[in-house]
Amino acid sequence: MAKPTDPDPRATLRGGLPDRYLTPDDIAAMFGVPLETVYQWRRKRTGPPGFRIGKHLRYDPADVRAYVTNRKGVDRDAA
């Protein structure tokens, strides 16, 4: 039996976010940035807010959507 493959994470930004908490790898793939950039965003508090579950970093899809919406507004204001 073939193992189902995960959809392209960048497609989830266009078609809706998954119904699960996202990993740093998911965030990096969605935004097309290196994983280290995601960790730098966290250290600098400039990216989507994440939280820890034990030793694991996770992101709430609603927070990621709010972050993107907010960034779109910032970009429009700068233009």
What is the structure's pLDDT at 18?
A: 73
Indicate the pTM of the whole model.
Answer: 0.72
User: What angle, 0 to 180 degrees and rounded to 10, lies between the N-to-C axes of helices 35-44 and 24-31?
Assistant: 110
User: What's the pLDDT score for residue 27?
Assistant: 96
Q: Give the list of residues 6+ apart from residue 72 with CB closer than 8 angstroms, or none.
A: none
**pLDDT, tens digit (0-9, with 9 covering 90-100), for 17-48:** 778 999 999 999 999 999 999 999 999 999 99
- The mean pLDDT value of the chain amounts to 84
pLDDT band at 13 (very low <50, low <70, confident <90, very high): low
Classify 44 as helix, strand or coil.
helix
Domains of the chain listed by start with CATH number: 9-78 (1.10.1660)
Residue 56: what pLDDT? 96
Rounded Cα distance, 18 and 59, in Å: 11
